[in-house]
Structure 1
Amino acid sequence: MTIHPTDHLDTDGQEVRRYLDAVEQAVSGLPAHRRKETVGDVAERIAVALAGRPGRITQILAELGAPEQIGAAAVDAYRADVQVPWWSSPRLIVWGLAAGSAVSLLSRLTADDEIPEIFALPVFYLTFCGCVALCLSPWWSRSRRCLALAWLLVPNLFLALAMGATDSLAVQITLSVVSVAVRAGALWWMWSCRTAPEPDRHRFPRWAGVLSWIAVAAVAAGETVLWAVTL
């Protein structure tokens, strides 16, 4: 049986392809351009090494390290480039908004008239802070943030108007359940369509950030005062 040189080259190419596929899988959590950059850099290093040491693909790949190690290093480097504040975490935002919806529903289902007033402030803080964090979070594009806010807030507006127009407890409960279901769907959609933040993505100037937080604090303080007076 005759072994042709091209057979060896084909085997090397298949091994390199499998290695690069494994690297791409290891960095699947990064944005598309960053994945392409990482895989391209590894492919270039392999090509340079093979040019100097043809036929030593196994040794070259061993020197580069396991694809999982390369992927972990790339993810760590990416996170070092992107400074993401803790309050912009998708998990924190989604769970905060979900908690606000759950508390709001429970307060509406109670027969005691004082219960909704007691829970009004926690519901406000959970919903308001969650929406503000959503607006400033780099985990969603601008269009998706606007769409999520619309699905979170508009149903509540119609719910408040509808509940004020009827005295039927059954209708009020039905409207509350429908509103919470819509918000749950919006929250699920938010979680499923989140994307890894990119460096300098939607970053505000420092003065704009300071003014935004001053406005948020003023609104929160005013709502707290109104809640205390109502009680």
Structure 2
Amino acid sequence: MRKAYLNWSSGKDAAYALYLIQQQKEFSVEKLVTTINSENERVSMHGLRKDLLLKQAQSLGIPLQLISLPGDVPMSDYNDIMERETKALKANGFTHSIFGDIFLEDLKEYREQQLQKVGSQPVFPLWKKNTSELMQEFLSAGFKAITVSVNAKLLDQSFCGRLIDEKFLADLPKGVDPAGENGEFHSFVFDGPIFKVPVNFQKGEIVERSYAPASEKKDNCFKKEPEAWDTRFYYCDLK
């Protein structure tokens, strides 16, 4: 099997991508790689505490590599940091990089271009899957996840800190992707067939945070026009 690392967000897409890859037995996933905000020690975008991230990796039984990023890192700096890290992974025998992307073409193209620079190959096990069917498969496989961040422009506060189940999917407003692939919501997976034991946690407060638009963002790892970025989110603090 070919040696690979998985870009681990702590959420459902990464978890299901790992599940499928492990079933296919084409790649040996020997490392999880996660970017964290160095200012608050939380997973980028998801806002998950590093302690819970470490518990996830321990239950998965796969070594975790953290890449620390400043909270407001310019895109050029982000690219430099990630190129350095991916070069090091390639030098250590990791030939493939696995992502949980589903249908964002520009993001996929960005990842392919960046990895090409260091001679690594991207792998997209969820690519172009129907997201409604994908979420049904995710739940049927026995995964359990909770929303930790929701886009306040598209979802109200009641969707934050909520278990992702059939009722959650049925309650999503029209136009919201069932897998949150457009950034509508982010999740924390705490149980499922890839975990040795469930990851214990407690729900904390839900807070609303706003961000000023910027000409460059790292959140989805590629550029968009400033007005295209949503700036208000609800976060559920898990402990």
Could you say whether these structures have the same fold, taking a TM-score greater than 0.5 normalized by the shorter chain as the test? no
More strand by share: 2
TM-score calculated relative to the size of structure 2: 0.24
More helix by share: 1
Larger Rg belongs to: 1
TM-score calculated relative to the size of structure 1: 0.25
